Amino acid sequence: MSASLYQTRSDTPLNALEIQVRNDGPDPVTVDSAQLRSGRLAGAPVWDEPVEIPAGAAMDLKVSLPPPDCDGSPGETVALRVDGQDVVIDAPDRLGQVAEYVAAVCFEDDVESTTHIVVEAVTDEGIRVFVDPGTSEVGALGTTILFAPVDPEALAAAPGAPGDVRPVRLRPNRCDAHALGEDKQGTYFDVEVTLADGRSGPYTFTVDQEQRGQLYRLYARMCGLS
């Protein structure tokens, strides 16, 4: 048996992870359970639906990622129950996606301890966002699969600046009915944030479910899809 870890595009916004378990033997096996163990995760998620894996085949077992342990160390294993026997095998994070998840969530927690960026409303031209930088510097707003800001500096704020509400005009990043119909990340916005300790990176903020529907309708109207 061998294992590896990866995320699909749809897993990322859901904080889910695929444990890919491969049967390297000559006979089919039944995996009764799989538990992910990691020094950089605050829990050990379990897949507990028995699945048969044919010889030479692999199956993806989806689990929910627990919160990270920001002081933990890398190194993942999977504890398997296979045909009634227990085995623990290495599960390499070959694409570095577990590392990216841990870094992103820990950075996000540190941003949210001092900085507040909240979408207050969807408008006819985009979104209205409350920005309080606290001790951080808020920089450029990025694009999403669906939208691009007309002014990437619309949310820019220096450390210590008073909180205020910013209008953000949006335009379609590209008009694509299929992209709209299949969207999973188009209403997640990245803005560059630099913390007081010098760490810098994208901070992701999003909208509530009602606002998401409003943004989809705005995109459809802007693209002539409605």
Return the domain boundaries, the chain. 2-96, 114-222
Nearest to 202 by CA among 153, 147, 151, 138: 138
Q: Give residue 176's identity as a one-letter amino acid code.
A: D
What length does the chain have? 226
Q: Give the tens place of pLDDT for each residue, 162-217.
A: 999 999 999 999 999 999 998 888 999 999 999 999 999 999 999 999 999 999 99
User: Cβ atoms within 10 A of the Cβ of 159, count?
Assistant: 15
Place of tokens 């390499």: 92
142 token code pair: 């990025």
Sheet of strand 200-205, all strands in order from the earlier edge strand to the far edge? 137-141, 189-194, 200-205
* Class in CATH terms, 2-96: mainly beta
Q: Give the tens place of pLDDT for each residue, 27-51.
A: 999 999 999 999 999 999 999 999 9
pTM of the model: 0.74
Amino acid 13: pLDDT = 82
Q: Give the tens place of pLDDT for each residue, 76-121.
A: 999 999 999 999 999 999 999 999 999 999 999 999 999 999 999 9
- Tell me the C-alpha distance between 218 and 139, whole Å: 25
Neighbouring-strand partners of residue 200:
194
Amino acid 226: pLDDT = 73
Based on C-alpha coordinates, what's the Rg of the chain?
21
Q: Give the range among 5-19, 32-46, 49-63, 137-151 with minimum mean pLDDT.
A: 5-19
Amino acid 184: pLDDT = 84
